[in-house]
Amino acid sequence: MASGIYMTDRSTIQIPGGGRALAADLFRPAAASSLRTAVILLHGGAWRFGSRADMVPYASALARLGFTALAAEYRLLGEAAYPAQLDDVRSVIAWAQAHAAELGIDPGKIALEGFSAGGHLALLAAATPHEPGANPVAAVVSFFAPAHFDGPSPPGMPPRAAMLLGPDATEAEMRAASPLHQVRAGFPPTFLLGGMADVLVPPAATLALFEALVGVAAPVDLHLFHGHTHEFAALPSMLEPVQAEVALFLKRSVVDPAGYARENLRLNPFARPDWRPPPAP
């Protein structure tokens, strides 16, 4: 199990995409890291706004913890209709896998971290069956992401399905764009984070997604922060601690799951297969 604090090295690259080249900011640990794990970060903004620049503080925090981080652009709805955004995320994943050697990472250890609309895209990309010979997404971290579109929208907000898919979206299109309805056996390890006071993505929606993942035996963590609303993770008091939680999840789920499992079996008697509750008095 690796640990340590690293400095960072930043550069900007261009990634070939289906519609056009996609800019991405690459953050590497300035010293050699044993983690060999990359995290692709996807910004929020209702699929219409936002920028990869919004991800710089999060990416920097991960690089300081030894991860290679890629804050990636995707085309917004004003430029291209859905599913161009999801196609762009898949292009970034494919590029990172193809360039794993020069990035100093394992192509099987590429995770996604998305915020709001970016979390929605991360969850859908993680649910996508991978091409033969390619590695699936290793894990996904989703902050306050819409879980489904075939339900009521928050009071005072336009229907989310219309925001993403247009006013004439069919039921089938809404389900296909809903992470909740794409949960399947073999879904990668997932970390869901949200705010208990979030009215844009109520905790009930995040809980429904959590329960669906539990139902297919997917490895899943859930953290709902009391008193916090949408986009709480950008607060100066929250960003570093939350990214440290993300780093721990990735170490347990991607970097060295076997090492953490061995430690648990060795030191936690309740984790051993032969443990049984004591008989009733």
Structural domain boundaries, residue 144: 8-271
In the numeric block, which tokens belong to residue 185? 């056996």
Domain annotation covers residue 143? yes
CB–CB of 198/228 below 8 Å? yes
Whether 2 maps to a domain, the answer reads no
pLDDT confidence tier of residue 2, bands split at 50, 70 and 90: very low
Residue 280 in any domain: the answer is no
Could you report the per-residue pLDDT of 56-103, keeping only the tens digit for each? 999 999 999 999 999 999 999 999 999 999 999 999 999 999 999 999
Helices 236-250 and 56-64, axial angle in degrees (round to 10): 50
User: Would 176 be classed as within a structural domain?
Assistant: yes
Q: What is the mean pLDDT of residues 11-25?
A: 93
Note the pLDDT tens digit of each residue in 180-219.
999 999 999 999 999 999 999 999 999 999 999 999 999 9
Q: Does a structural domain hold residue 130?
A: yes
Side-chain-facing half-sphere of 223: CA atoms under 13 Å: 16
For residue 166, the tally of other CB atoms under 10 A from its CB is 12
The phi-psi region of residue 169 (left if phi > 0; otherwise alpha if psi is between -120 and 50; otherwise beta) is beta
131: Cα within 13 Å, side-chain hemisphere: 8
In a domain, 1, yes or no: no
For range 125-135, the mean pLDDT: 77
Domain count, the chain: 1
| CATH code for position 23 | 3.40.50.1820
With cut-offs at 50, 70 and 90, classify the pLDDT of residue 281: confident
- Predicted confidence band of residue 131 (pLDDT cuts 50, 70, 90): low
